[in-house]
Amino acid sequence: MRFFSFCIIRFRVLLLAFGCLVLGSGAAQAQEFKKTDAEAIREIYDRALVKGAAYENLRRLCKEAPARLSGSANAEKAVHLTAQMLREAGADTVWLQPVMVPAWERGETEAILKIPGNQRPLEAVALGGSVGTNGQWLEAEVIELPGIEALKLIPADKVAGKIVFLNEPMEPRNVNTFASYGACGGNRVFGADEAGKKGAVAVLVRSLTLSHDNHPHTGVMIYRSELKIPGLAISTVESARLSELLAASGSVRVGLRLGCRDLGMKPSYNVIGELRGRQFPNEIVVAGGHLDSWDTGEGAHDDGAGCIHSIEALRILAQMPVRPKRSFRCVLFMNEENGGMGAEAYAEYADKEQAKGIRHVAAIESDRGGFTPRGFSYDAQGMGGTAAKQFLDRFSEALTPYQLQLITTEGSGADVGKLQSTGAALFGFLPDSQRYFDVHHAETDRFENVHKRELELGAAAVTSLSYLLCQYGINGSVPAKK
């Protein structure tokens, strides 16, 4: 009997101890829920900078699936590789969203500069979407113009039968290099179309970079008329030389042979990973970048870095002591560079979800490279514009210690911008822009040109804004500034 009583006492003691353990665990969990935003952001940065996976994941993407032009074999490799990264990061669900994308093949680009008594190769690269020359050499005299506006004004008989050279440099006085890029981007995008309408046989475009180097930068071009002529970019060094030769001799010819081919539409995918919210699972916060890249380099800064920022955001949020209140999605868009089909497909999907009560409250795009973070931009248009500004203003005290004080109205990005119809607040990640156009769309956009710490700081910045949006929503209870 005493033995039985002793056993009962021991059982009660063990039960009490177990109860204390459970209560203690609950108390600890409750304490985690009260963690301040400043402490949470500090933890995010610690995880990104000390135990981050961003740099290794970017290496895998660039080396295993470089040159990820939509519709290519490497783009397909990237789809499956990043889906695996999202599973490794701890996503609750990973899925591939089908999308049809345009496929274009560069082939070989050959260009020869010819002056009386001399000729040499010309550093050039075909612009994305250009027609080829069907295996034939095309040769003509070159005429130099200061940009597409001058091309629009010049009489057609001045350019007919010639190769038009659009030699407009990016404006060096702008601190924001994206403003300079936007100001002369029309040369590349519509130069061949405008010249073709006036009877030109090809277009050479000065590369869109502030760097004086011998690396030509490609990028998308668009034909709006039925008459299509080849479009090429030449390096800034070659642009200066060609301009000097034209000024000195007045007679320069260029020979071209391009192997470009339009392969029609091919099936591909957006890659999506979701971390389900603990309290408001039907409210979605997105962070994303575009998975495709031009085929001249490895797509490290454009936009491997943005994809890795977003994958890392999911990984860190999955490891936080308390799961986010709202669902977080990493969306890797296909075909931003030459069509935007992935963004359109995801926007249609989001609209259908909205009809089912699943609401996109915010989206962040990272598509400006893996450089040192400066802040965030927001899309002032649409229903979410005012809310986006108020959100950034109210949380500026939490973000400023991490040098994220730059807030602009430059919009969000080409991909998440398509979500405007959902009413979501749309943001863009802003890193320092001074070196971006050194590598943009060029062979130099390689993993080796990404700084490990800068990439990790970018991942921490994107994760921090994602955390705050998941915690508070865009129209929820946001703490006012003191």
Mean pLDDT of the chain: 91
Where are the chain's structural domains? 35-104+264-472, 107-259
How does DSSP classify residue 210?
S
Its pTM surpasses 0.85 = yes
Mean pLDDT of 167-188: 97
Q: How far is CA 304 from CA 22, 54, 64, 188, 300, in A?
A: 44, 10, 12, 23, 5
Q: What is the pLDDT of residues 418-462, one digit of tens each?
A: 999 999 999 999 999 999 999 999 999 999 999 999 999 999 999
Domains 35-104+264-472 and 107-259 share a fold: no
φ, ψ of residue 378 to 5 degrees: the values are -145, 160
**pLDDT score of 116:** 78
Residue of 60, 112, 251, 246 whose CA lies nearest to 166: 246
**pLDDT score of 476:** 45
| pLDDT higher than threshold 80 for residue 59 | yes
**pLDDT score of 250:** 79
Least confident of 2-11, 38-47, 262-271, 361-370: 2-11
| pLDDT higher than threshold 60 for residue 10 | no
Q: What is the pLDDT of residues 275-311, one digit of tens each?
A: 999 999 999 999 999 999 999 999 999 999 999 999 9
| pLDDT higher than threshold 50 for residue 127 | yes
Mean pLDDT of 215-244: 96
Preceding peptide of 303 cis, ω within 30°: yes
Residue of 158, 269, 159 whose CA lies nearest to 204: 159
The span from the CA of 302 to the CA of 289, in Å, is 9
| pLDDT higher than threshold 90 for residue 151 | yes
**pLDDT score of 35:** 57
**pLDDT score of 14:** 35
Q: What is the pLDDT of residues 398-416, one digit of tens each?
A: 899 999 999 999 999 999 9
Class of domain 107-259: alpha beta
Strands (DSSP E) along 276-405, which ranges?
A: 280-290, 326-333, 359-365, 373-378
CATH node for 35-104+264-472: 3.40.630.10
